[in-house]
Chain A
C-alpha cells in the first residue's frame, strides 16, 4: 500500500490526518481517510483521474471545503481539528493559491490584483508597492503594474495569479491544475519556471494535476489517488518502477502486459517468469502479491515499452531473452516507430521501435526484453473500476 515516509512527525509544512469528505448526495466519499505530509521545500503532487478527490483535498487544505473527518496541521499550527470542531477560515490560513481558472479579478489592474492580499493585511502603501514590484519581477512580468486585468493573455494571467499567491511570501503554495488552460509550448516553459522559482523560494508546494508528465517532472513526491483513496505515494521513480498495484501500474506510463508462467520465486518477492511465445525467454521481476506466487502459475509481467527492443528478424532463429512476432501495423511518429505486433500466445502488443531500422506491415520482428526490473502480477485486472487499494 503506501510506502509512508517516516519523517519528523509534527513539523511537516502540511500534515493531513485521516481526512474524509462525502459530498451531499454522493454515493462514495470524495476523499476517504487520507493522510499525508508535505515537507518544507518539497513539491508534493496529488495525481489522479478526474473525480479522484485530489481537488477536494486541495480545497480542504485551502479551507474552501470542510472535511467530515480528520485533522489538518500547518507545521505546529492547528488548522482543522474535527474532534474539537475547530476550523480556521480560509482567510486566516496565510497560504498562496493558484486557481485553475486563475481567478484574476477583472475589475482591477495587475497591481491591484497582486496587492490585494497585502492590502487585506493592512500593510503600508510604500511597502506594498515595493513587494508587488519585486514579486512581478520574480514571475517575469516587470513593469506591468498598471495593465487592466481583462487585457492579459493566458500566460500573463497565470503569472499574475502566481504573483498574487506568492506576494505574502507564504510557507505553503497550493496549485490547482495551473497549467491546464495553457497551450503546450507555454505549459512546458511555465513548468520549468515554476520549478526554478520553487527551488529559489524553498516553499512547500501542494500541486494538483491529472497530467502525469507534469507530476513526474515537477514533484519531489507524488500521491496517486483514485476514487478518494490514496493508491501509492513516493518519489516519481518509485511509482514508475515499483507500482504498488495494478492501478498505479496502468495510470503512470505505458505498460505492455506479457503472459507467462512462474519458473521460480523467493520469499522477498523476486520471481523469474518464462514468457509465452519465446522458446527461451526468462526474465526477472518483482511480485507485490502478499501471498507469493507458486511455480507454474500463470502470471502477467508488466514491461515498460522502452524496455522492449524491436528489430527486424534475421532468419528464423529467436535469440535467448526474446520473443518473435509479425507486424500488423507500423506507424512513423517522427521520433520513433509505433508497431502493432502479433505474437503467438500473447495476442496483439503495442510496442515502439527506433526509426533507423524500421519494419513494415507483414514483417517478422524479434522483441528483445530487458532481463530484469519488471513487475509481475497474477491478473491483468485494472482497479480503475472499483478503486480499491491493495
Chain B
C-alpha cells in the first residue's frame, strides 16, 4: 500500500493536460486510495468479527460465535452502560459549562472575556493522557492534592480522602472539564454565525431576556448544538486515555479499554476485540449519519445578516465581578492546577502532597532517567517523524479531496466526501486494531513494526478532520479567482497548484496545526500497532505510568507538551508572516 505522502507527491507535479480520461483516472484513483485507507480497515474488522480464528492462525470458518459470546457476557452490558453514562454524562456536564461560558463571553459585559478565549485554546491542546494523569495527582485518595485538607488537617487518616479518581463519577466530571474548552469554542462559533437581530427582534416584540434565550436563542442554535453534541459525544465514546487511567484501576471499562485488554492478554482475544470494535463503529456510523443530517438542516437556517457583528451585550451589573471570578476559577481549575501538579510530579520520585520539604527535595532525576533510556530516544525520533509527515500528507490529501468535492462536477464526488468522513465513526483504538489486522493480512508489505504503519493510520484517521477544514476553506474561496486562472489559458492542475493551494495556505496551516497537535499526542491508535522500534512519546509516557513510574510519565508528558508549544508558536509565526505578506 502506498503511503499518503507518496500519493501526494505522485499526483501533484504531474503534467496532466485537461483531458477527460485523465480526469477520470485522477478522481477514480483518489477514490481508490480513500477506499483502501477507509473502507478496507472497517471491512476487515467486520470480517474477523465473523471469522472463527484470528489473523495469525490458519484456517477458520464463518461464525457468529464471537457476537454470541460478547452479548452473552454480562461485562458487555456493564461496558455499554459505562460507555453510555460516560458519553452522555460528560457531554451534558461539558455542555452546561461550555454553553454558559460561551454565553457569558459572547453576550454579556463580563470582564476577562478575551482571557477566557486564550485559556480555552490552551486547554483544548492538552493531551488527554496528561490531563488524566494530572487529575490522579489531584484526587488520589492518599496523596491527592485536593484530599490534603481531609487527610492531614482533619486527621482522617492517610488513606481516607473524600475524593477518589477511580470512579465513574470522576471520569464523567474530568472528561466534562476536558470537553469544556472544545464545546466553548464551537458554541462561540454558533453564537457568532447567528444574526443578533433575531434576538433583538424578540426583545422589541416584548420578550424579556429569559424568554428571548428560551424561545429564540436556544431554538435557533439547536441544530448547531446538536451537531456539537454528536461531534464531541462520538469522540468521547471512543476515547481511551481517560477511561484507561481513571477507569481501569477501579474496574470501570468502556469500549476502548475493553478492546485494549482483549488485545493485551495472551493469547489475544481477536473475537472479542473485533466484535466489540464493530459494534462501536456501528454506533459511530449512526451518530455521524445524524451529524450530517443535522448540519444540513443548519445550513438551511443560515440567514442574511444586514450589519456587521455587533450583538447587544447584557449588562451584568453587580454580578460582573462574579462572572470574572468564574472565568478565573475556570482558568485555575482547568489549566493552572493540572499543569502545575504535572510539573511538580515530574520532580518527585514518589508522589507526595506538595509541601515545602517535598519541593525542596525535588529533583530532575526523572528527566535524567528517561534521557538514559533508548526507548525515549526512539519515541522522540518517531514522534518527530509523525509530526513531519502526517500533517502535511493529511492536509494535501484533504485539499485535493475538497477541491474535487466542492469545485468539480465529477460524478461520485459525494462518495469521496462521505468516504473521507467515515474514519471519524470508529473509536481510534478500533481503527488501530483494524490496521493491525490489515498488516497481518498483507504481511508481504514490510510495514508492521515500523513507524510508517502508524503514519498511514494517522493520515486515514485525521482525513476526516482535514477535509472538514479544507471543505470550509474551499467554500469561502471565491470561484471566480480560479476561473480567472482557467480563462488565462492554464490547465486545471496548474490552476489548482498555482492559485487554489496558494490562496488556501492560511487555512491549510491552521488545518496542519490541528493535525500536528493531535497526531503528536495521539496514543490509542499506536497502542496496538507499536513495537519496540515504532514507539512514540505518548506510548513511552503510558508505559511509564503503567509501570508505576509516575514521575517519568509526567516528565515525558512535559517534554511532549513543550514540543507541542514550540509547534504552535512556529505555526503562529508563519501564519502571521504569511498573512502580512498577502496584506
Contact = CB atoms under 8 A, between A and B. Distances in A.
Contact of B207 (A100, A106, A116): A116
Interface stretch (B166-174, B197-205, B485-493): B197-205
Contact of A100 (B219, B222, B300, B306): B306
Contact of A103 (B200, B211, B219, B312): B200
Contacts of B373: none
A150 B301 CA distance: 7
Chain B interface size, under 10 / 10 to 19 / 20 to 34 / 35 or more? 20 to 34
B203 A107 contact: no
Interface in B199-231: 200-208, 211, 215-216, 219-220, 222
A95 B201 CA distance: 11
B305 A94 contact: no
Given A107-B219, A107-B220, A107-B301, A90 B203 contact: yes
B1 interface: no
Given A116-B215, A180-B306, A103 B201 contact: yes
A91 B207 contact: yes
Nearest to A92: B206
A168 B304 contact: no
A116 B301 contact: no
Interface string A161-199: 100100010000010110011000000000000000000
Contacts of B205: 91, 116-117, 120, 164, 168
A115 to B, nearest CB: 10
Contacts of A97: 200-201, 204
Given A91-B203, A164-B201, A103 B208 contact: no
A106 B199 CA distance: 12
Contact of A121 (B203, B206, B307): B206
Nearest to A148: B300
Contact of B307 (A100, A106, A116): A100
- Interface of A: prevailing SS: loop
Interface in A86-134: 89-97, 99-107, 116-117, 120-121
Given A99-B306, A101-B307, A116-B215, A93 B204 contact: yes
A62 interface: yes
B158 to A, nearest CB: 55
B301 A106 contact: yes
Bin the interface of chain A by size: 35 or more
A95 B203 CA distance: 10
Nearest to A154: B304
Contact of B197 (A89, A101, A168, A180): A101
A55 to B, nearest CB: 8
Given A150-B300, A150-B301, A180-B306, A105 B206 contact: no
B106 interface: no
A63 interface: yes
Contact of B220 (A65, A106, A121): A106
A64 interface: yes
B408 interface: no
Nearest to B299: A150
A177 B304 CA distance: 14
A64 B211 CA distance: 16
B552 interface: no
Interface string B275-306: 00000000000000000000000001101111
Contact of B200 (A64, A93, A150): A64
Contacts of B303: 101, 103-104, 106
Contact of B201 (A63, A65, A105): A105
Contacts of B304: 101, 181
Contacts of B522: none
Contacts of A90: 200, 203-204
B195 A101 contact: yes
Contacts of B215: 116
- Among B204, B300, B303, B306, the most chain A Cβ lie within 10 Å of the Cβ of B204
Nearest to B297: A150
Contacts of B202: 105, 116
B203 A63 contact: yes
B306 A91 contact: no
A64 B307 contact: no
A244 to B, nearest CB: 30
B517 to A, nearest CB: 34
A103 B300 CA distance: 15
Closest 4 CB pairs of A and B: A100-B306, A101-B306, A103-B197, A103-B201
Given A63-B204, A65-B312, 5 more contacts: A89-B203, A99-B200, A100-B307, A104-B303, A177-B306
16 contacts: A63-B204, A91-B206, A95-B204, A97-B204, A99-B201, A100-B307, A101-B197, A104-B303, A105-B219, A116-B207, A120-B205, A164-B201, A164-B205, A168-B206, A176-B306, A180-B306
